[in-house]
Structure 1
Amino acid sequence: MTQTITINHWIQEAQILPLVDVRTPAEFTQGHIPGAVNVPLFSNEERAQVGTTYKQVSREAAILLGFELTGPKWAGFIRQCLQIAPGKRIAVHCWRGGMRSGAMAWALGLYGFEVYTITGGYKSYRRWAHRQFERSYNIRVLGGMTGSGKTRLLQYMKKQGQQVIDLEELAQHQGSSYGTMNKMVQPTQEQFENDLAWQLKDMHPEPLLWLEDECQKIGKRSIPLSLWQQMRTALLIDLQVSLEQRVATLLRDYGHLDPDFLAESTERIHKRLGPLQTKQAVAAIREGRMNDFIRVALVYYDKAYRKGLAMRPPGNVFELQTSGEDMPADYQRLVAFTEAFSTP
């Protein structure tokens, strides 16, 4: 049995209705619905062949070629889907809800699956994702100079039941020239948006939604403009942490990284850091003086942070003294500070 459902319908049942994406591996990597499993009807090369035949010969010729290419694969497709959905209840989609998902749904239905195809396919999810960015949220931004422990505090807040989205985790980047930590690989812009929208769907409009103060670009990924604009006009709590604690935090986070990576990352910001400071920072890295390197780099990052802070609406920035190390205590200070805003 095959039925069509909307993307909203599937999202409501996502926990109990497995989703199969039959697009090519390249399409899936470019962007996919969170939780979907890729069971590609065509390889990347086969998809190109079918597309060329469709354009240069005819629709019918492309369909015949498609059946020729997939003929030996159908038993494998069904076995894969049985592993994904042992209960034989499954949802399927392609790019626009067309022939590829239709063919897979037909085969699975013939085998006895209860199959649901997503109306509009992956494109319908992209439209849905953009609507999540345009919703209004009760955003509160957590700021502070580099090394203030913002990310750790947000992670602790999330464990305490607060609404938190870690944008740097989604972007797989720590938001500086050193942000990949020499190991993280950023998702595509499309996938970053897909994952962000998936988390936003669970955020209620009334309670505070905590986000870290970020530039619009996190590495090479951009926060969607409509959400970014809400972040820029939201109240910001500026964590005040001592320089010594910030250096200690950064030494713990970055001090063990490969010196070549740190030196190359420093060279990338030489125009902003300045020739003398860049030379001093790289020398400190090469000589193992990580404390000195961090102090030189902070001169630039602190200046950039102050500049960004000055661009916020007057009266929207509030300072809060925190340790930058004791997360439970800092959380209690933040809760008490935040509650003061809602007290008549």
Structure 2
Amino acid sequence: MSNALVADKRPSTLRGARLPKWSPWAIAAGSIAVACGIGAAAGLTSHVQWGLIAAILFLLGTYAIAARVEGRRQAKDRIATSLVWVAFLLAVIPLVSLVWTTVSRGVKVLDVYFLTHSMGVVPDSQPGGGIYHAILGSLEQVGLATVIGAPIGVLTAIYLVEYGRGRLAQAVTFFVDVMTGIPSIVAGLFILSLMLIFKMEPFGFAGSLALAILMMPVVVRSTEEMLKLVPNELREASLALGVPKWRTILKVVLPTSIGGITTGIMLSIARIAGETAPVLLLVFGNRFINANPFEGAQQSLPLYIYQQYANSAGANAAYDRAWAASLTLIAFVMILNLLARGIARWKAPR
């Protein structure tokens, strides 16, 4: 009896050897050290090359050590996890580098004066001027595009999910898929052809039309997915009470999915806010403040950035203004994304 109790208290030998929790960090540190040595010995001047060598060494080292200690099966699991982390770092590092570069260079001239004044008569080669006219133009153009594109996109998605049957629905789905992948310059050329037919001059609303074309397929796809997530039981319960289908959609389906729909619209706004090609073709740019999008050329932030950078040869002032406008545009898109996440959490079904 005593021998059986002693045998029960012995540690189980069913679990094989395991690497300590700190082993990935140690392998990563060793890989970075070896990669730095290889890069220095080979005369590699690019830190990107050093990073790629470190990533390859990290994957190889993880597999070799895990296979020797834990076996090949566990090593395959660790190499898959390591690939995910390497892919994550490859995506995050350029993003962090982009944001850091934009912030460090954009803060040089970004102040209240820069945000509240236009370029006016200030030459690109001279300091001064601002982006007020570009901010105003972007807000008006993107706002008008949202007023046009968001309702059409939502109504199209409602038709596809709630009513769409047969060849018409298939045709609408096909054209939405095609529009999702068209370059922005194509939308600009389409509106430009109409302007040439009617002999119209560049104006802000023309850019809004092109942006609306780019926005609609994104809204359709995001709204369609949100409507599909609404349980059919809610629709059936409403219809069983004798509520018409249109009222069921208005009072049951849309309120249930309003958070996701709003998030999709906000993300589509962030997507079109940085478009340059349609604005360059249709809005043409303006150094002065033009608050009327239906008459005369206007400015926008992406176009302002392009023009300032294009004219920055030998002019540090234009170069600094381009980076400051880029920082403002990134902040605008970031605020929209944060609003989208906040609305999604606020309106999430409970």
Determine if the TM-score, normalized by the shorter chain, exceeds 0.5: no
Q: Which has the larger radius of gyration?
A: 2
Question: Could you say which structure has the higher strand fraction?
Answer: 1
Q: Which has the higher helix share?
A: 2
TM norm structure 1: 0.21
TM normalised by structure 2 equals: 0.21
